[in-house]
Amino acid sequence: MFGRRLNIEEVRSPDSRSSEDEEPTSVHEQQQQSPAISQQKNLLLRFLSGILHPEKEPNSRSHPDNASEGSRNSSVSYHYYSSYYSTSSYATGNERREERQRQVWRRLSRALGQFSIVPSRALTAFFVMLGFHHIMMVLVVAILILTCLVLGSCTGSSPTMSHFHLLSLSYAGTQRNTSSVASSLNVVQNLGTEQLNMRVLVGYFAVCVALTNVPSTVSISSLLCSSDGNSLRGSFLEASEDPLGLLDFGFRIKDNIMFPYLSVIATVLELFLLLLLAQFPGWKEETDEDGSEREVKPFPSTVRLVAALALSSVAAALLLVTAVWQQVAAVAAGQTLEQVMPGQIMSLVGLSASISSWFAFGLAAMVFLMVLTMYTSIRILLDRFD
């Protein structure tokens, strides 16, 4: 017991020793106190010793029934813990907090490491081998998909492809009022009020017709697309179903107003650009003068860079003209029909085709800027080191 107390006193700070020397009668006074109070103090000191400094437990824990020895140890522990708390509790608290944080991060890293060892290495190797031209290739593929969707609109009887129509023509209401029709349109005067729920969807290479008077919605069987107006009219429509000739207007818009060949040329140029970007050099191993192997990535040749720059610029310009032409032509044709036959025809511009065309142009402009950045950077580096 006495040896344990000497060891604690050696660790104590000078402030605690001086405070103990100034109160020589504290141990004697504590011995005269009742056993209940001494036992409460011992329990409190045990609790504090376990929280603040578990390795410096007072000796009264091993002998709880010895009141005098417990009181001496409590005095020593009181001075020790008071000096410990007053001098270094703030620093010790920060250290313990940091140690707990480190333990939490170690456990978390061990737990996550069991699940992410193999995927992380594979992803790291993939992103290391990924080059700047690969990003441009992904953008070019997206451009090709968008332009093909717009060009292939209304070429099949699938409702998905018909969503990319350029213009939609339909009668203004389920019940038509013939009082507002011009006198030259005598063909509709005998119809009175009749349900005419027909829609004509105009695409670049074909026109679709959907009859919506089947019970309430458009079904796949009521949608038919064709590039020939005569075959479509003979196999699908009757004269009473299209009194104003919306189908003929749709084919005239397709043949005389819409011009798909700029988009076709841009698609071909983007395809050539994709093949050219695939020829850009990637990472390869070389042996230096010391005989050690290292991975290097050479610059693409000037001819390839100039060709890629030319293809991307021309394709972006053609896609811009295509998007503007498509938007203006669809709006102008629809508004013209609405003005000629007011209150009888309703026209809507295809939203999906319009968004796809402008988005394709945005991606093409981005690819052009990326190729231009690569070309300029390589030229600056070559001029500086040459």
Tens of pLDDT, residue by residue over 75-118, are 444 444 444 444 444 446 667 766 776 666 666 555 544 444 44
Residue pair 320/154 in contact (Cβ under 8 Å)? The answer is no
pLDDT at 43: 57
Same domain? 317 vs 199: yes
The domain boundary, picked from 59, 85, 103, lies at: 103
Residues 99 and 137 in one domain: no
Coil, strand, or helix at residue 299?
coil
38 and 97 inside one domain: yes
Q: Which of 154, 156, 157 is nearest to 218 (CA)?
A: 157
Contact between 203 and 149 (Cβ < 8 Å): no
Closest CA to 163 of 354, 338, 326: 354
**Same domain, yes or no: 251 and 344:** yes
pLDDT at 64: 45
Q: In degrees, to the nearest 5, what angle opens at C-alpha 136 toward C-alphas 153 and 141?
A: 25
Residue 83 domain-assigned?
yes
**pLDDT confidence band for 289 (50 / 70 / 90):** confident
Split at pLDDT 50, 70, 90, the class of 272 is very high
**In angstroms, rounded to a whole number, what is the distance separating the alpha carbons of residues 164 and 147?**
11
| 85 shares its domain with 17 | yes
Domain final residue pick, 103, 120, 141: 103
Instruction: For residue 118, tell me if it sits in a domain.
Output: no
* 269, 328: one domain: yes
Does residue 117 form part of some domain? Answer: no
Domain tally for the chain?
A: 2
3-class DSSP assignment, residue 60:
helix
Cα-to-chain-centroid distance, residue 346 = 38
Indicate whether 222 belongs to any domain: yes
Asked if residue 242 and residue 155 are part of one domain, the reply reads yes
Residue 9 is assigned to a structural domain of this protein:
yes
For residues 279-307, give the mean pLDDT.
77
Quick one: pLDDT at residue 301? Answer: 84
User: Which residue in this structure is represented by tokens 């309430």?
Assistant: 216
Residues 360 and 216 in one domain: yes
Count of residues in the chain: 386
Torsion angle defined by CA atoms of residues 163, 165, 166 and 170, in that order, rounded to the nearest 10 degrees = -90
Domain end residue (candidates: 82, 103, 124):
103
Q: How confident is the model at residue 17 (pLDDT cuts 50, 70, 90)?
A: very low
Output 22 or 253, whichever has higher pLDDT: 253
Domain that holds residue 7: 2-103
Same domain, 95 and 143: no
Token pair belonging to 201: 């969807």
How high is the mean pLDDT of the chain? Answer: 70
In percent, the amount of the chain with pLDDT more than 70 equals 52
Name 69's Cβ contacts closer than 8 Å, sequence gap at least 6. 1, 59, 60, 63
Beta-bridge mates of residue 349: 167
In the predicted structure, residue 332 carries a pLDDT above the cut 50: yes
Q: Which residue has the tokens 């109070």?
A: 37
Residues 235 and 318 in one domain: yes
Could you tell me if 98 and 204 lie in one domain?
no
Instruction: Examine residue 109 and state whether it is found in any structural domain, yes or no.
Output: no
The whole-angstrom separation of Cα 309 and Cα 176 is 56
